[in-house]
Chains A and B, each alone.
Chain A
Amino acid sequence: MKNRSLISINDYSKEEYLHILDVAEDFEKNPRQKILENHVVATLFFEPSTRTRLSFESAISQLGGKIIGFTDAASSSTSKGETLMDTIKTVANYSDLIVMRHPLDGSARWASEVSSVPIINAGDGANQHPTQCLLDMYSIRKTQGTLENIHIAFVGDLKYGRTVHSLVIALSQFNATFHLVSPEELKLPSAIKKYIKEAGLKYHQYTEIEEVIDQVDILYMTRIQRERFADPIEYERVKNSYILKDHMLKNTKTNMRVLHPLPRVNEIEEAVDKNPKAYYFQQALNGVYVREAIVATILGLK
């Protein structure tokens, strides 16, 4: 993986994901290993995403690396009309690795083709966000002891949610059973279901969380956004059916954990936060270890 960009979840093999998760486990035990002291990492955020940026910057800082970059396109030369290619070629001269987030689909792949240093995609428009997927996998393995044979329910917007799509693709390599809970208009696209079918696995579709919550190991919640609905009345009708409340966790399996890519709006009631089955804040913390592992692996240090 040394010097190889991470653009899409499809770029790495199952063995390579598992290697990153193992390295992340090591960083969780000892997060401040000063192995990046002679390295400069650029974090280029062409659109703001405070959460993802801070997670990366914390990971790089804990490893002792130096950070250069910008936090939104307005403060960069992009606002003066510089092309992405020119920005990347320039920054590649100043750094050993580039972490980038950009509003256009495919921007990270293009950057990796013109850059002399590896690129980590921290989100390219609606397309890919592979580090989120790896931290989701880490959280599942950590809470369940394995990634194999998991029963996972995805709840909410399964049509547009890129984190859901990536995680479905990744877990299709680990013999998962998929339980898909969404309103009719936000069902998982057939292009993604194809990965499940090709792996010879099963999926089941539901419209209510209660139909499946007691059977699963992982409950993966997502936001439902009003703007995804052509008909606002339809949004009003379904929005409350996809809110997780504490009493709903009563008869769930003891190993069951609730994940969410955050930020949440109202889809998980705050009362759930105190339930030991709520895992989403720990999941965000895991993101730091996983990003330490990705940076260290790509730089050939782990």
Chain B
Amino acid sequence: MDHNIQKELKVSALENGTVIDHIPSNRLFTAIHILNLDKNDNPVYFGTNMSSKKYGSKGIIKISDRFFDREEINKIALVAPTATLIEIKDYKVVSKYSVETPKEVQSFVKCFNPKCITNHQSVPTKFKVFTDDKGVIKLLCNYCEKTTTQENMRFQ
């Protein structure tokens, strides 16, 4: 195989691994951070500001030799509820699915309330996830009972 074609393939197709598609462009780096992809050793490719018929502008992440638990991948539903996943083995698509919003999230989101105990002592955060009348995802803190919205979500 010609060297350039091989290189092209490497970026566009995975032999084994996961493709996360339909991530809103402005959430791509947050999604990478939530999944700790900036700290793992597997090759990771990503693209952003790509045009999408459905969403206008989207981002995509491809991770070689890495498959996710549903629970782990569903964390990104908080910032990218539209994301879809494709799992690839031997260049073939073996499964496709969409992320699902979890009912509860623990430890990786910070509470926005500066007076919350979780921001002062080493208390792991715990939230109930709910969607308001307008379909916006919100997190209810198990401790201070205040609601963290998508705009003020910060990740640990």
Contact = CB atoms under 8 A, between A and B. Distances in A.
Given A105-B143, A125-B144, A127-B145, A110 B115 contact: no
Q: How large is the interface on B (under 10, 10 to 19, 20 to 34, 35 or more residues)?
A: 10 to 19
Interface string B115-128: 11110111100000
B93 to A, nearest CB: 44
Contacts, number: 48
A124 B123 CA distance: 15
A212 interface: no
A127 B117 CA distance: 11
Interface in A75-128: 83-85, 103-107, 109-110, 124-128
A106 B121 contact: no
Contact of A110 (B117, B145, B146): B117
B142 interface: yes
A124 B117 CA distance: 10
A191 interface: yes
A83 B116 contact: no
A106 B119 CA distance: 10
Interface residues of A, number: 17
Contact of A105 (B116, B121, B122): B116
Given A105-B115, A105-B116, A126-B115, A84 B121 contact: yes
A106 B116 contact: yes
A85 B120 CA distance: 12
A189 to B, nearest CB: 10
Nearest to B114: A105
A85 B116 contact: no
Contacts of B115: 103-105, 125-126
A127 B115 CA distance: 10
Nearest to A8: B145
Contacts of B121: 83-85, 110
22 contacts: A83-B121, A83-B122, A85-B121, A104-B116, A104-B117, A104-B120, A105-B113, A105-B115, A105-B116, A105-B143, A105-B145, A106-B111, A106-B116, A106-B118, A107-B143, A109-B142, A109-B143, A110-B143, A124-B144, A127-B144, A128-B145, A191-B147
Interface of B: 111, 113, 115-118, 120-123, 141-147
